[in-house]
Amino acid sequence: MTNANFYHVLEQLLKEDAEILRKKNQEYGDSWRKRGGIGAFMMLARKWDRLEPQVAGHGYDIFEAMIEDCRPEGVLDDIGDLRRYLALVEAQYRAVLRHLPQARDHAAEPDRHYVDQEQRQMDLFGDSATAPHQLDLFT
pLDDT of residue 93: 85
pLDDT of residue 94: 84
pLDDT of residue 39: 93
CA nearest neighbour of 38 among 130, 121, 122: 121
- State how far the Cα of 66 lies from the Cα of 61, in Å rounded to an integer: 9
Q: 118: pLDDT confidence band, cut at 50, 70 and 90?
A: low
Written in H, E and C, the secondary structure of 3-23 is HHHHHHHHHHHHHHHHHHHHH
- Pair 54, 69: CB distance under 8 Å: yes
pLDDT in tens, 49-96: 999 999 999 999 999 999 999 999 999 999 999 999 999 999 988 888
pLDDT of residue 111: 47
Least confident of 28-42, 64-78, 109-123: 109-123
Tell which wins on pLDDT, 117 or 17.
17
Can you tell me the mean pLDDT for 92-114? 67
CA nearest neighbour of 17 among 67, 82, 70, 74: 82
pLDDT of residue 116: 63
One-character DSSP codes across 57-99: TTTT-HHHHHHH---TTSHHHHHHHHHHHHHHHHHHHHHTGGG
CB atoms within 10 A of CB 92: 20
- State how far the Cα of 50 lies from the Cα of 45, in Å rounded to an integer: 9
How high does pLDDT run on average in the chain?
Answer: 83
